[in-house]
Amino acid sequence: MKTVHLIQHTHWDREWYFTENDSKILLYYFIRDLVNRLEQDTALGPFVLDGQTVVLEDGLQVAPALRERLQALIRQGRILIGPWYTQTDFLVVGAESITRNLLLGKADCDAWGGYMPVGYVPDSFGQSAQLPLFLREFGIGCAVIWRGWCEQDVPYSEFTWCSQNGSRVTTAVLPWGYGCAKWLPTEGEQAARLLPAILEKQARFSLTDHLLLPNGNDQSPFEYGVPAMLASLKESQQDYQFARSSFTDFFKALQATGCPLPEWHGELLSAKYMRVHRGIFSTRMDIKQLNARLERFVSQALEPLLAVAGRLGLPCPQQAVENIWRGAMKSQAHDSIGGCNADRVNSMVKARLCDGLESAQQLFELNMAMLAEGITAQQTGKKIIVFNPLPHARDAHVRLTLYTPHADFCIVDAAGTPCRWQLLHDEPQDMSLIVQELSNSTTTTWYRKCDILLEAGALPACGYQTFYLQEGRAAGFDASTAGENVLENCWLRLELAHGQLELLDKRTQQRYPAVLRLVDGGDAGDNYNYSPPPEDWKISSDGCLTQWHSARGPLHDTLTLNWHIPAPADAAAREARCCNAGLHATLILSLPHDQPWLDVEVEVNNTLRDHRLQVEIPVGVTQAFHYADQPFGLIQRENQPAALQQWQAENWAEAPASLWPMQSLVMLHNGARGLCVVTEGLREYEIPAQQPDTLAITLFRSVGWLGKADLPWRPGRASGMALPTPDSQLPGPYRAHFALFPLAQAPDAPFWRAVEQWRTPACGYLDTGWSRFRTNPHGLHFPGRYSLLSWDCALHFSTLKKAQHSNALLLRGWNPGLTPVPCGQPAATGTPRRVTLAETPAGATDDVIPPGTPVSWLID
């Protein structure tokens, strides 16, 4: 006899085709009904509240009087909560966001008095290979998932899942989803006719006689009559024993069988039985970029600065930082960050991210201003504070915005030695828009707004250095001059010839012709999935260069290319092969004098609809696999999924397209030749089937529907709703930023150090003495140069922040490559202790860190 574990639950999307306002109003009635039913019948429960504590947070906004009753049920184990704060995405969202999601979710569970120790992920659009790592770091040994699994990866729906560093969790799949047993009849005879087919499907891939039966669905109320109905079937059949259960009880029963479980290593992205919606990696790319910017700025600029400021005696606004993270996580839920929402919802997702970035930038500027206030000037002029968040000293080029009434200015260090800088942009600025005191003036105060790049040498580790702006004094070096059609430094040479770009790696003499070619094709898909038109007509930038100019500067040389690409305005024009519109695009290519990378900015004015714009980067390496980054690691993937040959014959739910997610990096190399692309917020790449030696980075795609039916790459019903989403066409200006890193050999320590330099820039602040807001003097005194700690090792910096539950500092790095590296111990005032991502003692540790592994230190 098989044991059926009834799991009663709801899957609570905060927003989707409806807004969070809609769901909160519904939540009032849902929570009230759930509490009443459980209190009226003590035999009912447990009930899984979707594994995310944000449901409780939202619920108390509309039903605060229910707090004590809810808490009592949670403490009794009749309502199961956690471990997540929100049901996040795992392929688009960054590693620090996933970590903080569990950290805040666990803190919420502790406050409520209950905790479901199961990594419940019912609806993420594909599963990261690193999910076992995150769960194990938080002491969670079990996971329940849905999308991405199929028996061709691992033959059973119960298995041991291993992450890159060997972390292991016992995993159960809901092969037919969390809603496979929704809306069960409460009358026994009807249920007896319906259930056998459901249970037969549930048992199809099961390794043992223990089956999960999830009873619930999207925003569904408690089906309180189901347990009694199942109990009534006890006498009428002999095949199944039904138990009101939980995921924890299911895993206990699974373990008690003693049945050995198969192992799986890697990600789960199969679309054989369920859609994984591979197009979400590039849907609403503006939202993806904003989220990436917020994640990086908070974890790698704001929090490190607050750690430094806190050790110097300034207050730490920890609750404000936590509020920023919680707001971001509400926009990182699988639908929200996926962009597969109604336009109104996408506007709210974007607004939350903008709100978080505004708060983070204000915190950063106020703390920089307070640091500057406490520093005794060693030179004349206005103080410039340059902050280096990395835990090792470095030289850096720092972007700064200066406001000055003078035609000339000089920047010097603490010893009075002039520094080199390069003017990037110069325009007049009405200062009444910047300084509140000038807003009521009867005359306009005009300054120059100068965006510059400052050469800052020997910046201290996790610290700052003071420079000085001396206005009215000549810079003391030659400014930019006109250049030629070639950019060149010690490592690289880029040449423009006949409208195309060729990159030369001078270390190996390897040439990369026709790099950075813009290609625009049709997109007949929706917010969930890219789908090529039945007969696509692709337009490229070949022959469309209208003008170019270059400049040689003190710090880097630039080449600017302008294209006007005739193109079809929409799907109908593309089908008719009619170029009735145009795509205006600008590429700004910068080659620093002191680094082995080519910096690329793309600016596009998007007036087209129903299309996808990619930049193609031929590598000239043909092999079966490539590498991309994933949360806290690097993953090897096949260039062309083998399942492409069989998906249609087997009636898969969705094509296993060669569209892949990345955190920020993809590379194709063979040890002698190769290219790595590192991006700022771009999350999708492709290796086209007809161009297996080419990396195609998706800049953005434009679609006009939330869901469409019968797509060639996704047959059948529409995903979501057949709802127009004109904002998802992304009309107007669009900007993307990335860099090319040629590989002279297999990735080594200098390569990874250069990648870290590009991904984690130093930050600058000019203390003008003017401010939008004023604070009273704090009376503290700070040195002009300061380093909080150092940790000079091969690990990449992840964050430096205040610990969650104490005044200690938390420092984290991770191994970005594919070989083990030593990590050493940070040099800091205080005793560093290794801890987990959960900030609990790490137990036995090793100085050699495996690939794909984070290392966290708690420093008192």
Q: Which has the closest alpha carbon to 753: 793, 787, 813?
A: 793
Task: Give the CATH number for residue 639.
Answer: 2.70.98.30
201 falls within a domain = yes
Say yes or no: 156 and 212 in one domain: yes
N residues, the chain: 860
**Measured between alpha carbons, how far is 116 from 110 in angstroms, rounded to an integer?**
11
**Measured between alpha carbons, how far is 423 from 426 in angstroms, rounded to an integer?**
7
Q: Which has the closest alpha carbon to 13: 332, 349, 335?
A: 335
The residue range of the domain holding 311 is 285-376+771-859
Q: Which pLDDT score, from 0 to 100, does residue 367 have?
A: 97
Say yes or no: 266 and 362 in one domain: no
Pair of tokens at residue 765: 């602040």
Say yes or no: 250 and 306 in one domain: no
Say yes or no: 200 and 340 in one domain: no
Say yes or no: 598 and 549 in one domain: yes
623 falls within a domain = yes
Q: Which pLDDT score, from 0 to 100, does residue 58 have?
A: 98
Q: Which has the closest alpha carbon to 522: 563, 562, 567?
A: 567
Query: Taking the model in full, what pTM does it have?
Result: 0.97
Say yes or no: 660 and 739 in one domain: yes
Say yes or no: 307 and 264 in one domain: no
Say yes or no: 816 and 714 in one domain: no
Say yes or no: 508 and 579 in one domain: yes
For residues 169 and 161, is the Cβ–Cβ distance under 8 A?
A: yes
Contacts of 297 (CB under 8 A, 6+ apart): 357, 360, 361, 364
Taking only the tens place, the pLDDT of each residue in 121-143 is 999 999 999 999 999 999 999 99
Say yes or no: 315 and 270 in one domain: no
Residues of the chain with pLDDT under 50: none
Structural domain count, the chain: 3
Say yes or no: 252 and 310 in one domain: no
Task: Give the CATH number for residue 357.
Answer: 1.20.1270.50
Say yes or no: 664 and 775 in one domain: no
Q: What SS3 state is found at 676?
A: strand
- Nearest 5 degrees, angle CA 252-CA 4-CA 226? 120
The domain boundary, picked from 276, 303, 335, lies at 276
For residues 743 and 363, is the Cβ–Cβ distance under 8 A?
A: no
For residues 377 and 383, is the Cβ–Cβ distance under 8 A?
A: yes
Residue keyed to tokens 């569990």: 102
689 falls within a domain = yes
CB atoms within 10 A of CB 829: 9
58 falls within a domain = yes
12 falls within a domain = yes
For residues 765 and 368, is the Cβ–Cβ distance under 8 A?
A: yes
For residues 414 and 386, is the Cβ–Cβ distance under 8 A?
A: no
Neighbour-count burial for 320-346, b at 16+ CB within 10 Å, e otherwise: ebeebbbbbbbbbbbbbbbbbbbbebb
User: 67-75 and 95-112 helices cross at what angle (nearest 10)?
Assistant: 100
Q: Which pLDDT score, from 0 to 100, does residue 622 have?
A: 87
Q: Which pLDDT score, from 0 to 100, does residue 75 have?
A: 98
- Which residues are tagged catalytic? 123
Task: Give the CATH number for residue 95.
Answer: 3.20.110.10
Taking only the tens place, the pLDDT of each residue in 409-441 is 999 999 999 999 999 999 998 888 777 777 677
